[in-house]
Amino acid sequence: MKKLYTLFILLSGSILFGQEYRPLLDNNNLWTTSESISDGGGGYYRYQNEIRLNDQTINHNEKEYINLEIRTRIGHEFGPDYGEWGEWYDSSIYLHENLEEKNIYIYYRDYEVEFLLYNFDIEVGDTIPTQGFSPNFGFQHPTIVTSINYENHYGLENVKTFQTNHQDDDLIIYEGIGGSHGLFTLITLEHYYSLEDFNPILNIIEMANNKSQIFPNPFSDKIQIQNSKEIKELQLFDLQGKLISTNKNLDELNSKLSSLNNAVYFLKINYKNNKSETIKLIKNK
């Protein structure tokens, strides 16, 4: 009996900690950050930023980097409100993700420098790289991982969460999301950054301009997708946006569709050219 109990504990631990890697670079992700900058007189200038990936890429050190675009709005002098959003603009910041090594690299075009930004494969006691966080390019205190847990954050379940001993603040790293102070920012002497929100968006506009044809839809057990050879990954979500499964190909997806209850679902198709689209599916058996 004791051996069976021990085996159960080991299997439970494997299930709990054997989570699939959650990629960070996704065309549908939207990061919302706040920024407070000291005015030198005891006050602060306040800004809010939205960050997302665009279609521009650049090659550096045999890595393909994807550009970040940003828009900003300025906080009112009195009160918590902000003004209108500015226009989206292409930043000089690029990111690259190595899915096999679970690493995120950052490239600053204006400075022509590259850093390891996140290593989501580190363990308790390992040092977190901080050289890539702007604006100081590594003038940060050493940061050690103190614990790793699977928690719910920003509406997502079982996010691999790294607690740290970063000096003078509560820096937390989230796999597939970034840091508690933003995607590529940390607290400095005169700047305070915070990750306010993270949304893996199911874009309704994309749904209205689908490039792929799915049939039958409504479906009973299986579906067919036009141009399925160009697909890199298929992600299935429920009506509330909760991720149900991630699949490498159509056959893998179809093996799971037959067991679903009758309902409305969303299928996000990630293509090999880094494009993506989201399509509504109706299960009606």
- Any idea where the domains of the chain sit in the sequence? 29-200, 213-283
Report pLDDT for 40: 73
Check: CB of residue 22 under 8 Å from CB of residue 1. no
**CA angle at 96 for the pair 163 and 265, rounded to the nearest 5°:** 80
Phi, psi (degrees; rounded to nearest 5) at 167 = -60, 130
**Residue-wise pLDDT tens for the chain (285 aa)?**
444 333 333 334 433 444 688 899 987 799 999 988 877 777 778 899 999 999 899 999 999 999 999 999 998 766 667 888 999 999 999 999 998 899 999 999 999 999 999 999 999 999 987 888 865 555 566 789 999 999 999 878 889 999 998 765 678 999 999 999 999 998 776 678 899 989 875 544 444 444 577 888 888 889 988 777 788 899 998 876 778 999 999 999 999 998 999 888 888 888 887 777 888 888 887
Q: How far is CA 238 from CA 152, 207, 241, in A?
A: 17, 15, 5
Q: For residue 177, what pLDDT is reported?
A: 96
pLDDT computed for residue 59 by the predictor: 94
Q: What DSSP line would sit under 149-197, residue for residue?
A: EEEEETTEEEEEEEEE--TTS--EEETTTEETTBSSB---SSEEEEEEE
pLDDT at position 240 is 66
DSSP, res 258: T
> Model-level pTM greater than 0.85?
no
